[in-house]
Amino acid sequence: MTGDFNIRDNNWDPNYPHHSVHTEDLFTLAKSLGLGLSPPINSGPTRFADNLCDTNSVIDLAFINPNNSGFGQHSLYPELRRPSDHVPLIIEVSINKTNIDNSFWSISKDSEEEKNFIKAITDNTLALDTSNITSKENLEAIVQRLASIFNETWYSQAKKKRITKHSKEW
């Protein structure tokens, strides 16, 4: 979670002498999201004053998950601020070099497989003997058989597909 929080506080700005009443609320929100304040690798102001009466300040903050090793600390880049009075905050994110298998099982809409799936589910469900539901055990056995019907029928008709960089977005 990053951004211009417009909160001046000496927790992150040693040149500011006070604590803000909003700091505790911000920390509570961040903690509820599993985040902690990330101190920048290179400290400095994140907002440069646009007039001589104001001082530069630290109001742009970054909160990261301290348990996620993929997210490093952030850096301030004042040389990239161009016409803005705010400094860009850049967080380095590690990307795993191993291939992550992004696959799923699917039945295409209006396909022969979809027709076969619906027919098999209908036929097998109608064929279930539900006349002997006299106990919890009998009901559980019928429900388990129904789950097996859906599972077996799905995998007999569905095809495994992989998501790749060439896959359609929809």
Q: Note whether 45 and 107 are same-domain residues.
A: no
Is 6 within the bounds of a domain? yes
Q: What is the CATH number of the domain that holds 83?
A: 3.60.10.10
Q: Note whether 10 and 83 are same-domain residues.
A: yes
Q: Of 155, 77, 148, whose CA–CA distance to 116 is shortest?
A: 155
Q: Note whether 87 and 110 are same-domain residues.
A: no
Q: Note whether 87 and 145 are same-domain residues.
A: no
The three-point CA angle 56-57-59 to 5° equals 145
The three-point CA angle 71-90-69 to 5° equals 5
Q: Give the pLDDT confidence score for residue 68 in this predicted structure.
A: 79
Q: Give the pLDDT confidence score for residue 166 in this predicted structure.
A: 65
The encoded tokens of residue 132 equal 């002997």
Q: Give the pLDDT confidence score for residue 125 in this predicted structure.
A: 94
Q: Is 9 left (phi over 0), alpha (psi -120 to 50) or beta?
A: beta
Is 70 within the bounds of a domain? yes
Is 86 within the bounds of a domain? yes
Is 167 within the bounds of a domain? no
Q: Give the pLDDT confidence score for residue 149 in this predicted structure.
A: 95
Q: Give the pLDDT confidence score for residue 98 in this predicted structure.
A: 67
Q: Note whether 108 and 75 are same-domain residues.
A: no
Domain assignment of residue 121, given as a range: 103-162
3-state secondary structure 78-99: HHHCCCCCECCEEEEECCCCCC
Last residue of a domain, one of 93, 124, 140: 93
Q: Note whether 48 and 123 are same-domain residues.
A: no
What does the pLDDT profile of the chain (170 residues) look like in tens digits? Answer: 999 999 999 999 988 999 999 999 999 999 999 999 988 999 899 999 888 888 899 999 999 988 877 677 889 999 998 888 999 999 877 776 666 668 889 999 999 999 999 999 999 999 999 888 999 999 999 999 999 999 999 999 999 988 776 666 55
Question: Distance (Å, rounded) from C-alpha 84 to C-alpha 48?
Answer: 9
Is 98 within the bounds of a domain? no
Domain count, the chain: 2
Give the HSE-up count for residue 96: Cα atoms under 13 Å, Cβ half-sphere. Answer: 6
Q: Give the pLDDT confidence score for residue 66 in this predicted structure.
A: 82
Q: Note whether 81 and 8 are same-domain residues.
A: yes
Q: Note whether 108 and 155 are same-domain residues.
A: yes
Q: Note whether 88 and 6 are same-domain residues.
A: yes
Q: Note whether 81 and 119 are same-domain residues.
A: no
Last residue of a domain, one of 42, 60, 93: 93
Is 169 within the bounds of a domain? no
- Rounded (10°) angle between helices 112-126 and 136-157: 160
Q: What is the pTM of this model?
A: 0.54
